[in-house]
Structure 1
């Protein structure tokens, strides 16, 4: 896998699938926003702490959410140049349609590192993902929370997610994509926008309307009820739009920033 040259501020070239935020309008959906997620060459599923279900997430766009926290930046591979590796932190405000459900998920924050390997190849290292539950519209006392699915490639905009279902209707462990995570391949909907150069802050939009969604698994005696309420499994008609912003810092400067 090779990496194209990143476009800097003012450049007309297209930056590779890195985190950027923006506003996206699709004629085929009444939702706005999509951003490109990307992944890692070496991935590690982080442990996520689950909080109680809460009300639906705010409709504040991702551009209003600062992404400047580098605490989840992962250690670098042996033998790489810290000045040529950067830690990227992105925050997204996805709108998800699966089956009968459409909702704006609580903001998702992902962190990863990327840069050239000693052999000249393009490397990536997973850091962490954080999100929170969002109430499922039209289904009382049920919330949905995305989890990192263990696969991602931030150069191409591919990644996988699981969706934990929380509440009295769902048994512990009830998850959409429990055994086989939902795979996304995001398509950029336009060029990225540099909002700020110091500190760097970039926005982008992307979407995927090609993924399939399995039925929830490990949900106990109410599994069929959940299938009916959510309209799952769903082989078509699914959509994720993704407004996102990201910031980055090279590792040679990162230690000085973290020491402040």
Structure 2
């Protein structure tokens, strides 16, 4: 799997401005809920529908001096439901990989591996109207990206959200300067779905995070933030239903 990036084909600034002016009156419209299968493919092909598969190719190298038999590589997959500002979507499935285990001094250790995600269409696109879904130039998608901080012992992690549209620059991102920080709280106990191979399900949520404004979006930055209801210091929600599997490092296949 590879991370999807923003469109490389964009119209001239004049054309952007013309389209923006045509839809400006509707930019404050609210979005409805999207489903994981409605991802807006930024390559011009059909919407992405592939589900990520748990694999161990992203397992990171271990810290020096630790015991591989006591460290495990975890791969977890989730399709989070996100309400942020005026946008409510069910994100296309994301996969995260990390390692955890005891350090030589007995403290808990973690090493980040990788994150893979696909874009999810934002209903109503740039305008929040039917035209935003029907006119390709007005479509809008959101793609979560790793924000550089994670602590899977405590449920803390950070994300950035790249905004993808033919009318937006590549770097248009929510959380560009400082990522969105989540502190997930468990909704209930974990459930073992399988012992061999191990497969554990859990649910968590965060209703306390603040959503910053989008940045790097060119001439449409102000209109886009009003359309999305950003920044949103409160009233946001991430619900996170996930499954994860793991393998001890001494049981991982040897790499060449």
Does the alignment reach a TM-score above 0.5? Answer: yes
Cα pair 2:85 2:232 within 8 Å, conserved: yes
* SS at structure 2 position matched to 1:207: strand
For residues 220 and 75 of structure 2, the distance between their equivalents in structure 1, rounded to whole angstroms, comes to 38
How do residues 152-191 of structure 1 correspond to structure 2 at under 5 angstroms? Answer: 152-191=150-189
- Which protein has greater RCO, CA pairs closer than 8 Å, 6+ apart? 1
Q: For the structure 1 residues 118 and 73, does the alpha-carbon distance in structure 2 shift closer, same or farther, using more than 3 Å as the test? A: same
Alignment TM-score, normalising by the size of structure 1:
0.75
* SS at structure 2 position matched to 1:255: coil
RMSD: 2.1
Cα pair 2:74 2:98 within 8 Å, conserved: yes
Partner of residue 75 from structure 2, selected from 77, 89, 102: 89
The answer for the alignment partner of 2:37 in structure 1 is 58
The answer for unaligned runs of 5 or more in structure 2 is 8-33, 39-50, 126-131, 133-138
For residues 49 and 101 of structure 1, the distance between their equivalents in structure 2, rounded to whole angstroms, comes to 21
The answer for the alignment partner of 1:127 in structure 2 is 113
Q: For the structure 1 residues 91 and 224, does the alpha-carbon distance in structure 2 shift closer, same or farther, using more than 3 Å as the test? A: same
Larger gyration radius, structure 1 or structure 2: 2
Cα pair 1:173 1:218 within 8 Å, conserved: yes
For residues 103 and 145 of structure 1, the distance between their equivalents in structure 2, rounded to whole angstroms, comes to 11
Q: Per residue, is there more helix in 1 or in 2? A: 2
Partner of residue 71 from structure 1, selected from 57, 62, 72: 57
CA shift at 1:68, angstroms? 3.2
Alignment TM-score, normalising by the size of structure 2:
0.76
Partner of residue 198 from structure 1, selected from 193, 196, 210: 196
